[in-house]
Amino acid sequence: MNIIVAGGDGFCGWPTALYLSKQGHDVSILDNEVRRKIDDELHSNSVTPISSLEERVDKWKELTGKEIRTYIGDLNHYDFLREVLKKEQPDAFVHFAEQRSAPYSMIDREHAVYTQTNNVVGNLNVLYGIREIVPDCHLIKLGTMGEYGTPNIPIEEGFIEIEHKGRKDVLPYPKQPGSFYHLSKVHDSHNIMFACKIWGIRATDLNQGIVYGLETDETKMDPLLTNRLDYDDVYGTALNRFIIQSTIGHDLTVYGQGGQTRGFLNIKDTVRCIEIAAENPADKGEFRVFNQFTEEFSVLDLAKLVQKVAKEEGFGTDIAHLENPRVELEDHFFQAENTKLKDLGLEPHLLTEDVVRDILKAVVDHKDRVIKENVLPQVSWT
Ligand code: NAD
């Protein structure tokens, strides 16, 4: 298949592009490299030193003989997007290319507006581009489990059967997101569902949990292929951030009580889920939703797990309960469905102590790169 990976220079997109290329797909990457610029804006960095996109794809070609074409540009520039779609004629468009940090979207008005404009307009352009140029192309869009929020009933995969005043219907599952970023994903989902209905586009919305891990078999092939790894308060996600904090002797920063429970998955499962979605496309006009996570943990569970493994590796560390900068429940019911990807063949990599140990060992070599003042939360929801 010809597959475009939009956002293919990022944390999830880069290993996905390599994996799909290795599986024999004809892959190209579209990215405006804004994530690298945001590092400069935040005076932050990836713990792992990452090479330029050009160096990355050159090394991949040298090692495997496989070419990944690159298109540097912005989804918000429709003329650019049209040209890429015309040239590639993709069978699948994997859409990772959004601003994905909740804290970043909550910094101030400008960052909220940027996040929603970048994400919602970019996604709308993708929908129009598919309609105009490649109407059969399967849109595989990264949503987030955060779209659902934390309702006091089990979370279904996209839709829920409701009985109301004696009548029944299957309706989109209610969305109660917790940041302007998560809201942008909800807006995307609505736009995609509508476009499927009116234009007959085929789409899969992958409501992904929080991704942990660093390397895949492909990114491990050479230091130039290494994935990025974020640890700061803005982009660092819970487990990865805790592991890095433990290696620099920093307390593990649990926000509030730490009972916040979420769905998680290994980056190795992210790449496989995309392959599964691509190889089992949605029907024409179908808006399909999969919940893409493998296990549920509370933030405090993760901190305790990291604390134990880190101690065994010689990094004693404490758990600090900080005042929660977010507005969210810290003790709540959470139970979510995640059977659809498993039914299509996903065999999850579960979070064991050895998995934490492996990530920790990969990080230790680069711990001198950590900018310590970036670890504590600086963005408040209120
Ligand atoms: P990332 O920031 O590392 O990568 C996103 C990439 O998209 C970057 O390389 C960036 O330069 C590019 N990009 C952003 N806006 C663009 C635009 N307008 N045009 C072209 N390129 C653009 O993020 P990630 O962690 O790889 O996340 C990828 C996707 O997965 C996001 O949509 C995110 O919402 C979703 N997701 C991620 C996680 C996670 O834990 N990382 C969890 C759930 C969902």
> Is 165 an annotated catalytic residue?
no
Q: Which residue among the candidates 104, 115, 185, 216 is catalytic per the annotation? A: 185
Q: Which residue among the candidates 181, 231, 235, 255 is catalytic per the annotation? A: 181
- Counting from 1 in the atom list of ligand 1, the atom nearest the Cα of 143 is 44
Q: Is the CB of residue 31 below 6 angstroms from any atom belonging to ligand 1? A: yes
- Counting from 1 in the atom list of ligand 1, the atom nearest the Cα of 146 is 43
Q: Which residue among the candidates 16, 144, 270, 294 is catalytic per the annotation? A: 144
User: What is the average pLDDT value for the chain, to the nearest integer?
Assistant: 97
CA distance 362 to 366: 8
> Is 212 an annotated catalytic residue?
no
Q: Is the CB of residue 33 below 6 angstroms from any atom belonging to ligand 1? A: yes
**Predicted local distance difference test score (pLDDT) of residue 30:** 99
> End-to-end distance of the chain based on CA atoms, in angstroms?
46
CA distance 194 to 127: 10
Mean pLDDT of 35-52: 97
Q: Is the CB of residue 10 below 6 angstroms from any atom belonging to ligand 1? A: yes
Mean pLDDT of 112-134: 99
Q: Which of 303, 184, 185 is nearest to 255 (CA)?
A: 303
**Exposed / middle / buried, residue 332 (Cβ in 10 Å: 0-12, 13-18, 19+):** middle
Q: How confident is the model at residue 132 (pLDDT cuts 50, 70, 90)?
A: very high
pLDDT in tens, 307-328: 999 999 999 999 999 999 999 9
Ligand 1 centroid – CA 10 distance (Å): 6
Q: Which numeric CATH code is attached to 2-374?
A: 3.40.50.720
Q: How confident is the model at residue 234 (pLDDT cuts 50, 70, 90)?
A: very high
Q: How confident is the model at residue 304 (pLDDT cuts 50, 70, 90)?
A: very high
Mean pLDDT of 214-237: 96
pTM of the predicted structure, to 2 decimals: 0.98
**Predicted local distance difference test score (pLDDT) of residue 170:** 98
**Predicted local distance difference test score (pLDDT) of residue 251:** 95
